[in-house]
Structure 1
């Protein structure tokens, strides 16, 4: 399926092509404009849209937030837009991209479609924005979030080899739980801790997290493990063929061991962390509905963090 976004800017793609060729990021020149577009949109939300709108609609709440809480609030606003947008785009691509859906083993590993590349580019643009914010406000967000942003950006960028383009949309569905997490955080800041609205949202958060990260995540991880295992046993003759259009960036169809180790170990770690975080989320939600004396919650009591292969925002509560 062709990239539904506006056509790439030829001069921009040609400018970065030597750099991309050197790093074997063959499909990146076709999507650099989308990365920069996404970066610009999230920067505008964080810097120029979320603060005045929040102050206009919630003047008594937003104005009373601390400097650190305002930064986190603005970041959650950008995260909300990103998670909703990227999930819609991923679901749309999975449903509408017939070429992607019918990919064989070679095409799932080294193939490429414009629509899947767009989803990857929008995610890369967000994590580029995320990295810039983490560097600017390192004193607020800390080294952990800086490491998260860096690892996400590096891993998404490596996908432009292209590698695992098919799976970009698959694992992007992890983000389905992120809007509920952001809403949960906003409830705390709006003095709605322990309300029925937060309870219903908390239940939805746990259910969606369990379904999209633990169930769907385990199933999808098994599929990519199997594809990598099968690819490592392909002969040179087996690697020949495939749809010419989808394989136009495939190059020599190599699968370097460092890349295998990076992606596969990341999946194992991510799945283990998902189980750990799910337990922490249950405890955090229950904490807000105990009958004991009302507690105060810090900004970091419930927040988002990410990790993993094709890393996605993963909550730590």
Structure 2
């Protein structure tokens, strides 16, 4: 197959059903979040329609984050797919049925979530979320088409492990529990989780690329330049959000100390 005028690896499109499954899963999780929340969370019924929409939407992002984090953990630490000692060829060309299907489901998630963001813009997020989702979809799509760079796509997807903490913070805030101990400790967990998953991990990401740059250079040109540019842009966004998280945590801890 040819992408942007360059020949790339033969394309296996068996991940396409996973992308459709990803969209379907998002719909199911969205509906289940609403049903279960209305049954077990009293404060949910008091929310207006826009807040309920975002509440259910955050259920989708939480599910996706847990799924891709578990899959990435398995592929990196349990399987030998990306092991340095493996003889499966260049590490940038390695892929498996599982990695393809997980990335396919991820494409389905980003399509669904981006569609909702644009539909209700800016209620579910501003331009930064559109940019984040657009860049993520673009990178995953190129990796699936070419079969290259999946190790780096999965590293970036692993940063989604912070999403449940972000969503729990929003849930507690909208339930009027901003002064609760759970809110405070979740904020601390979010700070350290973000530091590890979205700052230190991305530093390792660029270090790994530098160590394997002879292999990275073999990726087709559009994929190669995307691998250099997209994570850099996402890293800048993560640093900006980390600064805001740090300010919020300091403010919350200071307020908590003064109320004792």
Quick check: 1:100–1:113 contact (8 Å CA) kept in 2?
Answer: no
Deviations 1:239-279 (A, max 9, x none): xxxxxxxxxxxxxx6521x4333221222232233233212
> Which residue, 138, 141, 146 being the options, matches 2:121?
138
Q: Work out whether 1:74 is the aligned partner of 2:56.
A: yes
> Which residue, 64, 73, 79 being the options, matches 2:46?
64
Quick check: 1:36–1:125 contact (8 Å CA) kept in 2?
Answer: yes
Please give the alpha-carbon distance, in whole angstroms, between the structure 2 residues aligned to 1:119 and 1:104: 23
Deviations 1:137-164 (A, max 9, x none): 2352344433332222122111111220
Structure with the higher fraction of residues in helix conformation: 2
Please give the alpha-carbon distance, in whole angstroms, between the structure 2 residues aligned to 1:77 and 1:27: 33
- Whichever of the two has the greater Rg, that structure is 1
> Which residue, 76, 99, 120 being the options, matches 2:103?
120
TM-score (normalised: structure 2): 0.84
> Which residue, 127, 134, 151 being the options, matches 1:150?
134
Q: Structure 1 residue 214: deviation in Å?
A: 1.4
1:248 corresponds to which residue?
Answer: none
Q: Work out whether 1:204 is the aligned partner of 2:189.
A: yes
1:151-300 paired onto structure 2 within 5 Å: 151-160=135-144, 161-228=146-213, 231-232=216-217, 255-256=220-221, 258-291=222-255
1:38 corresponds to which residue?
Answer: 22
In the alignment of these two chains, the number of paired residues is 249
1:313 corresponds to which residue?
Answer: none
Please give the alpha-carbon distance, in whole angstroms, between the structure 2 residues aligned to 1:32 and 1:183: 32
Please give the alpha-carbon distance, in whole angstroms, between the structure 2 residues aligned to 1:154 and 1:77: 23
TM-score (normalised: structure 1): 0.70
Quick check: 1:108–1:167 contact (8 Å CA) kept in 2?
Answer: no
**267-276 vs 78-87, greater mean Cα deviation:** 267-276
Runs of 5+ unmatched residues, structure 2: none
SS at match of 1:264: helix
Please give the alpha-carbon distance, in whole angstroms, between the structure 1 residues aligned to 2:2 and 2:232: 30
Quick check: 1:87–1:175 contact (8 Å CA) kept in 2?
Answer: yes
SS at match of 1:140: coil
Please give the alpha-carbon distance, in whole angstroms, between the structure 2 residues aligned to 1:129 and 1:42: 7
Q: Is the alpha carbon distance of 1:151 and 1:28 closer, same or farther for their aligned partners in structure 2, counting shifts above 3 Å?
A: farther
Please give the alpha-carbon distance, in whole angstroms, between the structure 1 residues aligned to 2:122 and 2:237: 25
Q: Is the alpha carbon distance of 1:276 and 1:135 closer, same or farther for their aligned partners in structure 2, counting shifts above 3 Å?
A: closer
Quick check: 1:116–1:168 contact (8 Å CA) kept in 2?
Answer: no
